[in-house]
């Protein structure tokens, strides 16, 4: 749901463009006006908006001709690349110390989601990088902060070092000693935030920085603040120096202003984005993917990552092979439901597949998330023979009546399930038969 309205507006403008075989200067001017308004409305800093539209316009009017794309598509590509550029171009991850313990200091205003982000990052480091992580509770300004970090630590089973409300510098010193004695790979230090930037906080942060000599100083910024987030980031950066930003609350109504302003205004690379209440909702930030998401090009990479994270590879491979053969049956469909449930909601997944959104609408109405349970009950009311051989169900209305009765559903529900099986078969056959070029074209032109 990142910057939905920006996304919607840009997509509308882009969709109109992709169909165009010819574009003159006036078309481009008009289009840039729309892009400009969408960005301003999304609370992107006006300097960025200005240079953004200027650059897109120059390139669009330039004579760069790309093979295989019509003029409209070329402009879409230019906009995409420019979005990527303002967000930093390349993804930048955590720089781990090659030998020894990596230290991460976190800074940020109160309420920016710092404590939550520390917990999420610890979980991420354990899961993705197989690191043993210690969190040090050195936010002694807000009494509840230590308690909060401990609660999170318990919840996700990550160790917390704390000594109560004594001087932060002492806690950090002792905590680091404890960490190296106990062979932790990564230490994350929570520091004091304030509602606003003030001298005292900055001094404390400078002192802590001096003690920790951190490999990373990560700043949490609340994406819901819009472009103001970029100004806050700049102040922190000017005084403390940050090596990266964590954009929090990306699940809220973020409009996009923060994500598109921070890099240019503060010069801090965005390293993570955080979206939601769950402790596993932290993602490495990829400008390319975010640009694609904003333009509704889907997000194949995130999709693939989600699939590989949550599904056994062999299981997925078997499933794909099954899907491409004719003997895909109700047992397989049931397995598929279970896989999909594990991966998250169907609709979320569909959004990740470039351009397939519209095409899959049919399948989506046939199988929406809430119907999974009902369908499982229906499949459970079938005999093993019927599950293995869907034709038996197809050919006999008596069987369908019996199944409906047995599952406490209507015959129409059984028919829907029957259709769902067929739609699934067709859909995956179609995807399986697409060659690389077709998939690529689908990515470039989501409206096709
Ligand atoms: P801190 O004061 O900077 O340590 O901020 P907290 O971690 O306590 O977070 C402040 C509030 O924002 C809490 O109510 C969190 O639940 C909420 N929050 C933090 N991260 C996210 C996020 O990614 N999405 C949403 N929706 N809320 C978040």
CATH number at residue 287: 3.40.50.300
Q: In this predicted structure, what is the pLDDT of residue 122?
A: 98
> Are 126 and 73 in the same domain?
no
Rounded-to-integer distance, Cα 14 and Cα 374, Å: 39
Ligand 1 atom having least distance to the Cα of 145: 4
Q: In this predicted structure, what is the pLDDT of residue 218?
A: 98
Ligand 1 atom having least distance to the Cα of 112: 3
> Are 62 and 113 in the same domain?
no
> Are 337 and 285 in the same domain?
no
Take atom 9 of ligand 1 and give the residue whose Cα is closest: 113
What are the DSSP E strand ranges found in 210-308? 216-222, 244-248, 270-274, 282-284
> Are 78 and 123 in the same domain?
no
Residue 97 lies in a domain: no
Residue 94 lies in a domain: no
Q: Which residue has the tokens 């000693």?
A: 177
> Are 328 and 200 in the same domain?
no
Candidate from 116, 188, 275 with most ligand 1 atoms within 8 A of CB, to mutate: 116
Q: Which residue has the tokens 């010193």?
A: 173
Q: In this predicted structure, what is the pLDDT of residue 362?
A: 46
Ligand 1 atom having least distance to the Cα of 118: 7
Residues whose CB falls within 8 Å of the CB of residue 24, separated by 6 or more in sequence, listed in order: none
Take atom 21 of ligand 1 and give the residue whose Cα is closest: 249
Q: Using the 3D structure, point to which of 294, 324, 348 is the last residue of a domain.
A: 294
Take atom 16 of ligand 1 and give the residue whose Cα is closest: 277
Residue 93 lies in a domain: no
Residue 185 lies in a domain: yes
CATH number at residue 329: 1.10.260.30
Q: What is the pLDDT along the chain (448 residues), one digit of tens a residue?
A: 444 678 888 877 877 776 666 778 888 888 899 899 989 988 999 999 999 999 999 988 875 555 455 677 677 778 888 999 999 999 999 999 999 999 999 999 999 999 999 999 999 999 999 999 999 999 998 889 999 999 999 999 999 999 999 999 999 999 999 999 999 999 999 998 887 778 888 999 999 999 999 999 999 999 999 999 999 999 999 999 999 999 999 987 777 899 999 999 999 999 999 998 899 999 999 998 888 878 776 544 455 445 556 656 566 666 666 666 667 889 888 887 776 666 655 555 555 554 444 444 444 444 556 677 888 899 999 999 999 999 999 999 999 999 999 999 999 999 989 988 887 777 666 665 665 566 555 544 444 3
> Are 115 and 65 in the same domain?
no
Q: In this predicted structure, what is the pLDDT of residue 277?
A: 82
Rounded-to-integer distance, Cα 76 and Cα 331, Å: 43
> Are 120 and 183 in the same domain?
yes
149, 114 Cβ separation under 8 angstroms: no
The total of structural domains in the chain comes to 3
Q: Using the 3D structure, point to which of 86, 120, 148 is the last residue of a domain.
A: 86
> In which domain, by residue range, is 361 found?
302-444
> Are 49 and 179 in the same domain?
no
CA of 222 to the centre of ligand 1 (A): 9
Neighbours of 283 (CB within 10 A): 19
CA of 113 to the centre of ligand 1 (A): 4
Question: DSSP state, 98?
Answer: S
Pocket (CB within 6 angstroms of ligand 1):
108, 110-116, 193, 220, 248-249, 251-252, 274-276
111 is in an annotated binding site: yes
Residue 423 lies in a domain: yes
Q: Angle at the Cα of 341 (from 337 to 343), degrees rounded to 5?
A: 120
Residue 96 lies in a domain: no
> Are 179 and 48 in the same domain?
no
> Are 117 and 72 in the same domain?
no
CA of 118 to the centre of ligand 1 (A): 11
Neighbours of 8 (CB within 10 A): 12
CATH number at residue 54: 1.20.120.140
Q: Using the 3D structure, point to which of 86, 110, 141 is the last residue of a domain.
A: 86
> Are 150 and 30 in the same domain?
no
CA of 213 to the centre of ligand 1 (A): 27
pTM of the model: 0.70
193 is in an annotated binding site: yes
Q: In this predicted structure, what is the pLDDT of residue 424?
A: 75
> Can you give 284-328 as a three-state secondary structure string?
ECCHHHHHHHHCCCCCHHHHHHHHHHHCCHHHHHHHHHHHCCCCC
Q: In this predicted structure, what is the pLDDT of residue 313?
A: 56
Local structure of 356: helix, strand or coil: helix
CA of 223 to the centre of ligand 1 (A): 11
CA of 251 to the centre of ligand 1 (A): 11
Contacts 24+ apart (CB under 8 A), 360-368: 360/427, 362/423, 363/420, 363/423, 363/424, 363/427, 366/416, 366/419, 366/420, 366/423, 367/420, 367/423, 367/424
Residue 57 lies in a domain: yes
> Are 169 and 258 in the same domain?
yes
Q: In this predicted structure, what is the pLDDT of residue 294?
A: 81
Residue 92 lies in a domain: no
């Amino acid at each position: 749901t990142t910057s939905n309205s920006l996304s919607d507006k840009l997509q509308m403008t882009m969709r109109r463009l992709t169909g165009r075989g010819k574009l003159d200067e006036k078309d481009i001017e008009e289009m840039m006006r729309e892009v400009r308004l969408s960005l301003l409305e999304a609370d992107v800093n006006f300097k960025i908006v200005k240079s953004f539209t200027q650059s897109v316009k120059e390139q669009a009017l330039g004579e760069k001709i790309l093979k295989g794309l019509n003029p409209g598509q070329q402009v879409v590509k230019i906009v995409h690349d420019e979005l990527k550029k303002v967000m930093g171009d390349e993804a930048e991850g955590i720089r781990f110390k090659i030998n020894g313990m990596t230290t991460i200091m976190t800074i940020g205003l109160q309420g920016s989601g710092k404590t939550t982000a520390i917990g999420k990052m610890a979980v991420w480091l354990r899961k993705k990088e197989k690191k043993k992580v210690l969190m040090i509770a050195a936010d002694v300004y807000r009494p509840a902060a230590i308690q909060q970090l401990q609660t999170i630590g318990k919840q996700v089973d990550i160790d917390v070092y704390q000594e109560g409300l004594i001087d932060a510098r002492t806690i950090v010193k002792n905590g680091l000693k404890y960490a190296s004695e106990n062979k932790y790979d990564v230490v994350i230090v929570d520091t004091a935030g304030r509602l606003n930037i003030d001298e005292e906080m900055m001094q404390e942060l400078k002192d802590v920085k001096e003690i920790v000599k951190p490999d990373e100083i990560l700043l949490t910024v609340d994406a819901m603040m819009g472009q103001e987030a970029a100004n806050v980031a700049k102040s922190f950066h000017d005084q403390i120096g940050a090596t990266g930003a964590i954009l929090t609350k990306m699940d809220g109504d973020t409009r996009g202003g923060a994500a598109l302003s921070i890099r240019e205004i503060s010069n801090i690379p965005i390293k993570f984005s955080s979206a939601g209440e769950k402790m596993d909702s932290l993602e490495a930030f990829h400008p390319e993917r975010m640009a694609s998401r904003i333009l509704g090009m889907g997000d194949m990479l995130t999709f693939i990552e989600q699939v590989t994270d949550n599904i056994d590879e062999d299981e997925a491979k078997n499933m794909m092979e099954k899907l491409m053969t004719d003997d895909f049956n109700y047992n397989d469909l049931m397995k598929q439901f279970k896989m999909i449930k594990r991966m998250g909601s169907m609709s979320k997944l569909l959004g990740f597949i470039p351009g397939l959104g519209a095409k899959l609408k049919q399948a989506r109405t046939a199988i929406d998330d809430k119907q999974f349970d009902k369908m499982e009950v229906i499949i459970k009311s079938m005999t093993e023979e019927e599950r293995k051989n869907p034709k038996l169900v197809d050919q006999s209305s008596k069987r369908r009546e019996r199944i409906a009765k047995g599952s406490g559903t209507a015959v129409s529900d059984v028919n829907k399930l029957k259709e769902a099986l067929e739609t699934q078969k067709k859909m995956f056959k179609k995807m399986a038969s697409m060659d690389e070029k077709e998939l690529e074209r689908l990515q470039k032109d989501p409206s096709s």
